[in-house]
Structures are given as structure tokens and as C-alpha cells.
Amino acid sequence: MFPPVYIADIAAHEGQEVTLHGWLHNRRSSGKLHFLQVRDGTGVIQCVVFKGNVTPEVFQEADHLPQETSLAVTGLVKKDARSPIGFELDVKDLRALAKPAREFPLGHKEHGVAFLMEQRHNWLRSQRQAVILRVRHSVVKAIRDFFDGRGFTLVDAPVFTPSACEGTSTLFEVPYFDLGKAYLTQSGQLYMEAAAMALGKVYCFGPTFRAEKSKTRRHLTEFWMVEPEVAFMDLDGDMELMEQLVAHVVQAVLAKHERELRDVLERDVSKLANVKAPFPRITYTEAVEVIQKAGHPMKWGDDIGGDEETVVASAYDRPVMVHRYPAAMKAFYFKKDPQDANVALGCDVLAPEGYGEIIGGGQREDDLAVLEASIAQAGLPKEAFEWYLDVRRYGSVPHAGFGMGVERCVAWICGLHHVRETIPFPRMMERITP
């Protein structure tokens, strides 16, 4: 049994007799032949049970096994041009390891979203969900490779935090011993700013939490974010880093998963081929003009909502970078543009095809007095930010960074309607199970 043979490695065993371990995904029969689709987590293979090749008991059983029976199947690996993986298994023996205690709830018919979400733990066994999770893994790996290859150090940010980073309205509060309460982190950014002063180029990569009351297809209450932060970098450098990261991730995923994206997820992969740097850049002010021309009632100073983002992004064949937002709508830590104090040195990256914002970030305020004033103006408690102000007290330097949401990237790359399919066990306002 060990080392086991996996379906993904089957080509190396052509002409040999092997034993596979997996689950019965589907089956059909034509009297003398039973066709079993067996999956083992690395792939799916068709196992052909011919009456003349097995005992009568095995032949009889093969026609009655329920979906998701766990199996050991022994047979000859044969080339087959019609198979998506190029091979099938000519069965010699077959053993049911465990039969389902009751019928698997997700048979081969259409199911509603609410039911699928309740059945998320079982839904993961579908080929479609397996592909999405593999793409997610590749997105995470590509992100790590990108930063590791550029001399960044991974610095883990805490999950329990004493203060808000992205506004007080989306904080999750947890009781915290004698200290009263803590919040689940909305962003590791403030910690990365301190770490960048120690290590120069850093990133954190972990789960972040927002008590989002919006039930949109882009919002989760728990999502994963990568947040780089670089000392001595300005907004221009930050924007170059953003576009290089996005292009790297998309091209790495495409190189590895083009066939699965196209065949299983029915993604138009030609739309991803163009995702190469440089990306178009427009100011917030220019974006407002584009949105107004398209007939949307919006004035300077308003937030660019989901529909408006789509209007801006649909003008391009790759992500667009919108920079210099009104300072009043951005968080307290943004540096204001020295050329125009009404705008912040921030940038959002909007993905095409209606996917919208995948990155937010910018240059940080590095002046102690200005930052103190911004914290007061935002109504935040200064004591909680004393440590953060130290970043400006001891050799303050220009610095910048950003946050990219993994789920929104995966949704865009896979062409999914909703972010709930991009994370193994999604957490949303109305869902905390399974």
C-alpha cells in the first residue's frame, strides 16, 4: 500500500498493475461492463470492470456500490485517448473499504445555493470545488514566492488587537480577561509598519475579520489578506509593486491550471492572458468623470461603489489602478498629497469583468504631528496608538504598503459569481456553519 499510487501520477505506471485508494464518484453500466469513476483527491479515473476479468461477486458488487463508497481498486493502467487524463484502469479486483451509512446528500443533480452552503463539507468533494481550492493554493503559493523572491521577510501579525485599523464600524469584539476587551484584527498593517522599520521589506499573510453587515458577493466576515510594507517606498513604488504582484499571481496560476480553469470552471482564460504590467492608472477625479459620463449620479467625494467600480474597470482589458482618493473618505493613516491636501496618496486596484477592488493601499503619513492630528480627528483613542506613533518618533521615513484579498483574487481568476466558493469554510453575516 505504501508508497500509494495516486491518480495524478498514473502516467508513470502505464502497463503496470496498481492499487488505487479513493471514493466512488459515479458509475454506469452496460451489462457486461461497469464503469466506475473513482477520485482520490489528486484526480478522477475511469475504472472499467469487465465481467470476464473479475470474480462474479466483485462484478455483482461493482454494479451496486453507492456514491462515496471508499474503495481499493486493483487493475492494469491502460492508455485511453478519450479519457481527460489519458488513462483508464482495467479492473482486476475491487474492495469496498467503507460504504456510506446513508445516501450521500449531494447526488449528481442540481442543488440550490443554500443547501450547498449547509453541505459545504460534503460539497468540497465535487470536482469544481476541488479545482477552486487547488487554484486558491496556487494563488497563496504565488504570493509567497513573489515576496520571498524579492527579499521580503514574512512577519506574522497578531489576531487579537487593541485598536481599529479600518474604521470602528466593522470591529468584532471579544472579551479579554482583566483587560476588558480585544478586537479581531481588520488588518495587520499597523504592525507591518513597525516591522518595516526593523526589517525593511516585510509582509504578513493571514486571516482578517470584518463585521461586514453588507451581504454582497464580495464580502466575507473572515478573509485572508497579504499585506506588504516597505520602508523608503512612496506611492509610485507601491503601485509598481501592486501591478507586479497581480501579474505574477495571474500568470503563475494560468501556467499551472489553464486546463482546469477552462474545462472544469468554464473560465474564458483568454481574458487572463493580458494581465501583465504595466496596468492603466487613473486618478479618482478622472474615475468620477468616467462614471458620470456613463450616466451614474456621483459627485466628487462620494465612495466608488461596486457598480461604479464595474463601470471604470470595464474600460480596460486588465486591472486598473485608481489613485489619489479624497482624503476625507480614507483611513487616518494615509499621507496627503503634498500637491493637493484634499487627496490621499492611496491606490485601489480594480479587477476587470465586474470583480472590482482586489487591492487597497498607499503611502503612510510619516509626520508625527500630522498623524496625531488625524488620529484625534478620526475620534480614535490616542493611548491605543502610542506604540504606533513610535514608528514616527524614532527615525521616521516615507513608507508604503497595501493589502490584497485572497478570496477576491481567486473569485476573479476562477470567474466565480461569489466569494463564498473561494474559501474552504466561508464565514458571512448569516453563516457560521459548518
Q: Residues interacting with ligand 4AD, by CB under 6 A? A: 165-166, 187, 189, 210, 212, 219-220, 223, 225, 227, 357-361, 401-405, 407-408, 419
Position with the least CB separation from Mg ion: 360
Residue corresponding to grid cell 481499493: 72
Identify which of residues 23 and 412 has a Cβ nearer to ligand 4AD in the complex: 412
426 binds, among Mg ion, ligand 4AD, none (CB under 5 to 8 A by kind): none
How far apart are CB 421 and ligand 4AD at their closest, in Å? 13
Residues 6+ apart with CB under 8 A from 182: 160, 161, 162, 173, 174, 176
Shortest Å distance, C-beta 247 to ligand 4AD:
16
- In whole angstroms, how close is the CB of 294 to ligand 4AD at the nearest point? 22
Q: How many CA atoms lie within 13 A of 79 on its CB side?
A: 4
Picking from 323, 142, 342, the residue whose alpha carbon sits closest to that of residue 226 is 142
Q: How far is the CB of 120 from ligand 4AD (least distance, A)?
A: 17
* Residue 184 or 419 with smaller CB distance to ligand 4AD: 419
Smallest gap from Cβ 59 to ligand 4AD, in A, equals 51
Nearest to 171 by CA among 412, 351, 162: 162
Q: What residue ranges bind Mg ion (CB under 5 A)? A: 360
Nearer to ligand 4AD, 44 or 230 (CB): 230
Closest separation in Å from C-beta 27 to ligand 4AD: 39
359 binds, among ligand 4AD, Mg ion, none (CB under 5 to 8 A by kind): ligand 4AD
Question: Which of Mg ion, ligand 4AD, none sits in contact with 358, Cβ below 5 to 8 A by type?
Answer: ligand 4AD
CA distance 60 to 34: 10
* Least CB distance to ligand 4AD at residue 276 (A): 20
Q: For residue 355, which amino acid is it?
A: Y
**Cβ proximity to ligand 4AD, 88 vs 309, nearer residue:** 309
**Hey, CA dihedral for 239, 243, 244, 249, is it positive or negative?**
positive
Q: Is the peptide bond before 398 cis (omega within 30 degrees of 0)?
A: no
Q: Which does 346 bind (CB under 5 to 8 A by kind): ligand 4AD, Mg ion, none?
A: none
Beta-bridged to residue 323, according to DSSP, are: 283, 347
Which residue in 52, 36, 51, 131 sits closest to 88, CA to CA?
Answer: 36
Residue 91 binds which entry of ligand 4AD, Mg ion, none, CB below 5-8 Å type-dependent: none
Closest to ligand 4AD by CB, 91 vs 165, is 165
Q: Which of ligand 4AD, Mg ion, none binds 325 (CB below 5-8 Å, type-dependent)?
A: none
Q: In what order do the strands lie in the sheet with 173-175?
A: 160-161, 181-184, 173-175
For residue 357, the one-letter residue type is: E
- Cβ burial, residue 175 (10 Å; 0-12/13-18/19+): exposed
- C-beta of 210 vs 392, nearer to Mg ion: 210
77 versus 241: smaller Cβ distance to ligand 4AD: 241
Written as nine digits, the cell of 263 is: 474545462
The entry of Mg ion, ligand 4AD, none near residue 361 (CB within 5 to 8 angstroms by kind) is ligand 4AD
Burial class (CB in 10 A: 0-12, 13-18, 19+), 385: buried
